[in-house]
Structure 1
Amino acid sequence: MPPTPAPGKTARADSANKAIRAFLALRNGRALWPEERAEYERLVAAYMTAVRSEIEAAA
């Protein structure tokens, strides 16, 4: 059985994912403005960091 990631790590990835979804939902499918693209990229980077952390903890 694979190890279970620590609850805090999973919560961070879930929280980052929810932030991305909420951010995009507010834009109703339209293209992002340059400032919004920068914020989106920051959110995705935070999500990827949290996911990598979970993977490393599971390994």
Structure 2
Amino acid sequence: MFPGTGLCVALTTYSTFSYETLRPAEDGTLFFAAADVIASVVAGPGAVFVGIAFAEASWA
């Protein structure tokens, strides 16, 4: 059950990311499309880092 749920969540997340990036690119606002990609790529690992730091602080 859980692998199927994870696969569906990953698929919907990726499709939303690509839609939100492609839409501004098609409208001609490439700056916003690039900003969306950069923000998403930075925010993902940043959230992981914050989560790990929070977990380590709470287990200490």
Rg (Cα) greater in structure: 2
**Shorter-chain TM-score category?**
0.3 to 0.5
Pick the structure with more helix per residue: 2
Normalising by structure 1, what TM-score? 0.41
Normalising by structure 2, what TM-score? 0.40
Q: Which has the higher contact order (CA 8 A, sep 6+)?
A: 1
